[in-house]
Amino acid sequence: MTVSRSRPAAASRAASPVRLTADGLLRELREASEKIARGSRRLAALTEDQLAIATAPKDEVWRQDMVRLYRYRPVGAAPTGVPVLLAYALVGRYPMIDLEPERSFVRKLLAEGLDVYMVDWGHPTRAHRWLTIDDYVSGYLDDCVDTVRARHGVDRVDLLGICQGGVFTTCYAALFPHKVRNLVLTVTPIDFHGDRDRPETGAGYMNLWARAVTPEDIDRLVDTVGVAPGALVGFAFLMMNPVSNVTKYTTELVDILDDEAKLLNFLRMERWIADRPGHPGEVMRQWFKDLYQANKLVRGELVLGERRVDLGRITMPVLNVYAEGDVIIPNACSRGLQGVFGTTDYSELAVPGGHIGTFVGGKAQKVLAPSIACWLRERS
Amino acid sequence: MPFDADAGAARASEPLYAWWFSVLPRLFGVPVDAGRAGAGVDRDAASSAGDGTTAAGHDGAATHPFPVDLAQQALALAQGMIETLVGASLQALAERRPGDEAQALQGLVQARVAALADPVAALGRMLAGSNVAALGSALNGAPLAALGEALAPWSLNLERAYGGLADAFGLAPLRQLEQAVREASLAMLAHRQAQLEYLEVVAGAAGQGAQALGARLAEMGRSGESVDSLLALVRLWARVTDEAMHRAMQAPRALEASAKLVRAATRARAGQQRVVAIVSAALDVPTRTELDDAYREIQELKRQLRRLRKGPLAGDAAAAGPPPAQAVTSAAAADARPAASRDTAVAGPQRSAPPVPRAPQAARPAKAPARRRRVKEGGEP
C-alpha cells in the first residue's frame, strides 16, 4: 500500500503529503533493483513458443495480392449456421483478436460454435499506394465474401467489422446488401462528427486533429508519403498518450515483472504493436478527407467507385458494439445509430474497457463473444 | 504465428522504438549507457538492444525472441530512472526540505522536457542572432519568412542575369536543382521552426501537468492522504500529467501547432523529393513520379479486370446466388468438398429479412452475463 489515507496530521504536514525517508528510498531502490534483475533473468529465459501470437489453428483458403482469407478450424462439433467473416482495420493487424489463447476473441467465437473466417489485409507495399476504399470493399472484401459463399453454398454471410474494418463492412453491406445476412460492428466510427456536440475529455484526438488540418494538408501528406509507413501510424497512436507511454516502459513494466501472465501479455501486445502495416495513401486520403473531415458516410454522400454508399440499404439486422472507455473512437461517433441504417432490427452492446481492451480485456472477453454469438443465433 | 514471418513489419517499427528509447533517457537524465545495460539487468540479454536493433534475427544481433531485447532495454532505462529519482529525492531530504521530493520530480521532468527542445531552440536563436542585414529585427518575430524574403531578390537577380545563358549551355537542370535545393532548405528550416513551436506547446502541457500534480498533492494533504513511495509518486505524476496533457494537447493552440508541423514537414519532404527527382531525371534514373504512375496504371488495370470479372454493377444485382467456384483457390478447392455437401447441409434456410419489426431485445450471452453488460435497442444507455 503506497498511497494511504490517514487521519489529518498537523497543519504543517497536511501541506506536504509526500512521506519519503532516506531509508525508505534506499529500500525501494534495492527492491526495485532486485526485481529488475529477477525480471531480466525471467525475460532471458522466454522462448518463441511462449510469445507466439495468433495461434488459433487456421487454414488459408484464398489470397490475392497481399490479402489473405483464413478459415479457423472449428473446435468441438462441426459448426452450424452461416459463417461469420471478420474484417479488421488496416492500421493494425488481425492477431489482436487472437493475441493469446486465454484471451482470444476468435477462440471464444469458435467455442460458441461459430464458423469463423478472417480477412488478413497483409502489409501493403509501395505498389499498393493507389488502393482505394472501394478496392478494399468492392474488390478484396467482395471476393472474400464470394469465396465463403461458394465454399458453403449460401447466399449470404454474417459480417463482423472491427474499427476501420467496421467502416469497410458497413460500406459493403450498403453496396451488396443481398450478400449480407447480419452485420456486426465493433468499435466502429460511423458519425465522424458525433464528438462535436458531445465532446469527451481525453477522447477523440484523431477527430480533432483531422479537423485542425486542411484537405490540402491531407493531400500533401498522402502525396509525399505514398503508403504511410507503419512506424508513422504507430507514432500517431503513441503520441495520443505520451505520458502513459513513458510509464508503460518503466514503472508499469517493473510492476508486472513478477507476474508471468501479465508479463507475457505485455510482451505479446508489444509484438502486435510492432507489427504495424503501412497504410495505403489513397485510403488514407479518403479516410481523413471524406470521413473525418466531411463526415460523408453518415450523410449518405460517400461515393466508392461510382456508387454512393446509402446506409438506408442496410436493412439486415445490425448489432453495434462500442467500448465504454474508447478514447480512439469516441462513443459519440459509434453509438446511437438506430436511425442511420435502413434496418428495423438494430441493437447496441456496450462492453467495458477501451478500444483494444474490447478484444483483450478480461471483463470484455466475458461479454463480447457470447453476446455476439447469441445475437447471431437469434437471427439465424 | 512466428514473428519472423513478418520481419519486415518489425523492422518498420524499429525507428519508432529507437526514437522512443532515445527520448526516455533524456527525459529522466539517465546515462546513455543505461539503454544498453543497466545495473540490475542481464547484460548478455541486453547486449543487442542499445544500437536500435530490435527485431529477432536482424543482422544476427538479437538472441531472444522479439520483443525480449526491447523489454531488457526498457528495464535498463527504468533502473536508471529510479536511481536518478532516488538520488534527487535523497538530495532534497539532505537539504531538509520535507515535501520537496515531489518538487524534485517535477523539476527534473520539466528540465528534461526543456532540454529536449533545446536543439531546436538553439536553431531558432541562431537565426534570430544572424548578422545578415536583410533579416533585420523581423527575425525575432518570423525568422524564416524574413529569411525567405531576404533571399528572394538574390534568386531573382541571378535568374535575370544568368538564367538564359545557363540554359544556352545546357545547364537548365543545374539551375532547377539549385532552385530546388534552395526551396528545400527553406522548407526544412520552416520545418524546424514548426518543431520548435510544437515542442513549446508540449513543454507547456507538461508544465500544466506539474501544476496539476502540485494541486493534487495539496488536495491529498488536506484530506489526510499520503504518498510514502517514490514509485507511487511517479505513478501519481503520470496520471495527473496525462490528464493535463490531454486537455492541453486538445486545445486549439496545440492543434494548430500540430497542423502547422504536419504542413511544414510535408512541404519539407516534398522539397527533398523534388531535389531527388531532378537529379534522377538528369541521370536517367526512373523518378518517384514515374514509378508511381506505373503503379497507378497497374492498379487501374486491376480494377478493369475486376469489373470484367464481376460486372460493373455487381453490387446492385437484385438477386444473387452463390458465385462461381473458380474464385476458390486450389487450397480451398481441396477442402471445398466435403463442404459443398456438408456445409450446405448445415447452413439451413436463410431468412432474407425480418418479416416484422422486432421488439426491443437484449443479446443474451450463453454464459452468465457480466455485471456491466448493456444491450440497448434504440441506442440510449
**Least trusted range by pLDDT, from A24-33, A219-228, B18-27, B170-179:** B18-27
- Asked if B242 and A243 come within 8 Å (Cβ–Cβ), the reply is yes
Report in angstroms the alpha-carbon separations of B36 from B53, B171, B376: 11, 51, 52
ipTM: 0.89
- Asked if A8 and B45 come within 8 Å (Cβ–Cβ), the reply is no
Residue B17 has a pLDDT of: 63
The radius of gyration of chain A from alpha carbons, rounded to an integer in Å, stands at 23
Q: What mean pLDDT, rounded, does chain A reach? A: 92
Output the nine-digit C-alpha cell for A321. Answer: 458494439
Residue B152 has a pLDDT of: 64
Confidence band for A247, pLDDT divided at 50, 70 and 90: confident
Compute the average pLDDT of residues A215-234: 93
CA distance A262 to chain B (A): 13
Q: By the 8 A CB rule, do B358 and A344 touch? A: yes
Q: Is A81 on the interface with B (CB under 8 A)?
A: yes
Q: Phi/psi at B226 (nearest 5 deg)?
A: -140, 160
Residue B346 has a pLDDT of: 28
Measured over the CA atoms of residue B336, residue B341, residue B342 and residue B346, the dihedral's sign is: positive
Q: Where are the extended beta strands (E) located within chain B? A: 225-227, 374-376
Residues of A identified as active-site: 163
Between A110 and B154, the higher pLDDT residue: A110
Percentage above 90 pLDDT, chain A: 82
Q: What b-and-e string marks burial along B74-83, b requiring 16 or more CB atoms within 10 Å of the CB?
A: bbbbbbbbbb
Look up residue A171 and give its amino acid.
Answer: C
DSSP string, A138-165: IIIIHHHHHHHHHHHT-S-EEEEEETHH
**Can you tell me whether residue A186 is helix, strand or coil?**
strand
Burial of B286 (0-12, 13-18, 19+ CB in 10 A): exposed
Q: Tell me: the pLDDT tens digits for B330-380?
A: 334 334 333 333 332 223 333 333 333 333 343 443 333 333 333 332 222
Residue A347 has a pLDDT of: 98
Residue A45 has a pLDDT of: 95
Nearest-by-Cβ selection for A249 from B74, B269, B369: B74
Compute the average pLDDT of residues A338-355: 96
Confidence band for A69, pLDDT divided at 50, 70 and 90: very high
Report in angstroms the alpha-carbon separations of A302 from A129, A192, A214, B19, B219: 20, 13, 19, 38, 50
Output the nine-digit C-alpha cell for B155. Answer: 534568386
Confidence band for A259, pLDDT divided at 50, 70 and 90: very high
Q: Which residues pair with A157 in a beta bridge?
A: A180
> If contacts are CB pairs under 8 Å, which of residues 164-223 in chain A contact chain B?
175-176, 178-179, 181, 201-202, 205, 208-209, 212-214, 217, 220-221, 223
pLDDT at A26 over 90: yes
Compute the average pLDDT of residues A248-254: 87
Residue A327 has a pLDDT of: 92
Nearest-by-Cβ selection for A130 from B81, B220, B295: B295
Q: What b-and-e string marks burial along B87-102, b requiring 16 or more CB atoms within 10 Å of the CB?
A: ebbbebbeeeeebbbb
Residue B357 has a pLDDT of: 34
Confidence band for A197, pLDDT divided at 50, 70 and 90: confident
Q: Which residues pair with A116 in a beta bridge?
A: A84
Residue A200 has a pLDDT of: 82
CA nearest to A219, candidates A306, A287, A171, A304: A287
Rounded Cα distance, A232 and A328, in Å: 17
pLDDT at A124 over 70: yes
Q: What 8-state DSSP symbol labels residue B364?
A: P
| A interface test, pick of B11, B14, B20, B91 with most A CB neighbours within 10 Å | B20
Q: Is A350 on the interface with B (CB under 8 A)?
A: yes
Measured between beta carbons, the chain B residues lying within 8 angstroms of A77 are none
CA distance B82 to chain A (A): 7
Collect the ranges in chain B with pLDDT lower than 50: 2, 4-5, 9, 35-60, 119-142, 317-381
Residue A333 has a pLDDT of: 97
Output the nine-digit C-alpha cell for A187. Answer: 468499435
Residue B209 has a pLDDT of: 82
- Asked if B71 and A221 come within 8 Å (Cβ–Cβ), the reply is no
Nearest-by-Cβ selection for A271 from B67, B89, B325: B67
For B351, nearest residue in chain A (alpha carbons)? A380
Report in angstroms the alpha-carbon separations of A369 from A111, A321, A376: 9, 11, 10
pTM: 0.80
Q: Tell me: the pLDDT tens digits for A130-163?
A: 999 999 999 999 999 999 999 999 999 999 999 9
Nearest-by-Cβ selection for A243 from B90, B238, B322: B238
Rounded Cα distance, B315 and B30, in Å: 59
Output the nine-digit C-alpha cell for A327. Answer: 478514447
Rounded Cα distance, A360 and B1, in Å: 17
Phi-psi domain of A204 (left: phi exceeds 0; alpha: psi -120 through 50; beta: other): left
For A268, nearest residue in chain B (alpha carbons)? B67
Is the link from the previous residue into B67 a cis peptide, with omega within 30 of 0? yes
Residue A17 has a pLDDT of: 85
Rounded Cα distance, A171 and B28, in Å: 47
Residue A193 has a pLDDT of: 97
Max CA pair span of chain B: 86
Q: Is B3 on the interface with A (CB under 8 A)?
A: yes
pLDDT at A95 over 70: yes
- Asked if B68 and A274 come within 8 Å (Cβ–Cβ), the reply is no
pLDDT at A53 over 60: yes
Rounded Cα distance, B105 and B166, in Å: 62
Residue B132 has a pLDDT of: 37
Max CA pair span of chain A: 79
> If contacts are CB pairs under 8 Å, which of residues 47-76 in chain B contact chain A?
54, 56, 64-68, 70-72, 74-75
Q: Phi/psi at B92 (nearest 5 deg)?
A: -65, -40
Residue A84 has a pLDDT of: 98
Measured between beta carbons, the chain A residues lying within 8 angstroms of B9 are 93, 123, 230, 274-277
Residue B151 has a pLDDT of: 61
The two beta strands, A303-304 and A84-87, are unpaired
Residue A239 has a pLDDT of: 74
Output the nine-digit C-alpha cell for B163. Answer: 538564367
Between B361 and A360, the higher pLDDT residue: A360
**Least trusted range by pLDDT, from A327-341, A352-366, B227-241:** B227-241
